[in-house]
Amino acid sequence: MAIFTGAGVAIVTPMNQDGLVNYDKLGEIIEFQIANHTDSIIITGTTGEASTLSEEEHVECIRFAVDKVAKRIPVIAGTGSNCTHTAIYLTQEAEKAGADGALVVTPYYNKATQKGLVQHFTKIAQNTSLPMVLYSVQSRTGVNIMPQTVAELFHSCENIVAVKEASGNISQVADILQMTQGDIDIYSGNDDQIVPILSLGGKGVISVLSNICPQETHDIVAKFMEGDMVGSRELQLKMLPLIHALFCEVNPIPVKTAMNLMGMEVGPLRLPMTPMEEANKARLIQAMKDMGIPLK
């Protein structure tokens, strides 16, 4: 059984002006997401600036999200690291906190071999009972999880149950599903590929777009699952200009900018992330206006 079906939000980590985590605001945006039918909260992922959180902050954000959500929808904790030992620690802490699953990204900077990836993910899986979602995003980490590697891990580790596929390669998604007999759950890691991945048998999306348009992102998946493929496709295509604007600079710079423009007051980014360039900000503002998103 899938951890969730639908649109899960890769939620931002709001900051105070002093750069510390703003837990009050995190609680507000979690409630906003649930009220607008988001199907899962994915905390401390790439969009949540996990790479610049201390281990203490990382764990506290997971605990806070689990407590705030209170089992209304699943909470998946980003627990990946380029250190296997650290990834095990974060995953075990997420399990203790009551998370419903762990999203584990490929080790970044190390550029592990496929053999190294097998050993890394296997070791984590052996040290937790949480369902694990592998996160393949070569553009951020420098290494791709090959379909054969995904299949090997899926068949050898019973709690590796899903993949967040952000390679951008639809053929790779098809190969993964073929090699796992369609039994592994796949979530799109790219907001512009939700419908293509659903058409191959995907379960939904782990979405940046959902931070500002949770209902619409939910509806793209819900319509498809209900058999309204035309409506799903039309909504996917309608959202494309906004999606492109949200990725015209490295994530999460644009989405945090967008949320602040909406008056959500999620605060600044942590270095080395910097404020959005003015030309790109103007593009983002226009895309939001075109979608009828009210700006403050």
The stretches in the chain having pLDDT less than 50 are none
Cα 112 to chain centroid distance, Å, stands at 22
pLDDT confidence of residue 1: 84
Q: Does some domain include residue 274?
A: no
Is residue 135 part of the annotated active site? The answer reads yes
Q: In terms of C-beta density within 10 A (0-12 exposed, 13-18 middle, 19 or more buried), how is residue 72 classed?
A: exposed
Q: What is the pLDDT of residues 18-46, one digit of tens each?
A: 999 999 999 999 999 999 999 999 999 99
Q: Does some domain include residue 273?
A: no
Q: Does some domain include residue 240?
A: no
Q: Could you give the CA distance from residue 155 to residue 223 in angstroms, rounded to a whole number? A: 31
Cα 129 to chain centroid distance, Å, stands at 21
- pTM score, two decimals? 0.97
Q: Does some domain include residue 261?
A: no
Number of domains in the chain: 1
Residue from 25, 68, 89, 164 carrying the catalytic annotation: 164
CA max distance for the chain: 51
Residue 72 domain boundaries: 6-226
Q: Does some domain include residue 275?
A: no
CATH of the domain at 20: 3.20.20.70
Q: Does some domain include residue 280?
A: no
Q: Does some domain include residue 90?
A: yes
Pairing of strands 101-105, 185-188: unpaired
Q: Does some domain include residue 88?
A: yes
pLDDT confidence of residue 36: 98
Q: What is the pLDDT of residues 214-234, one digit of tens each?
A: 999 999 999 999 999 999 999
Residue from 135, 187, 203, 256 carrying the catalytic annotation: 135
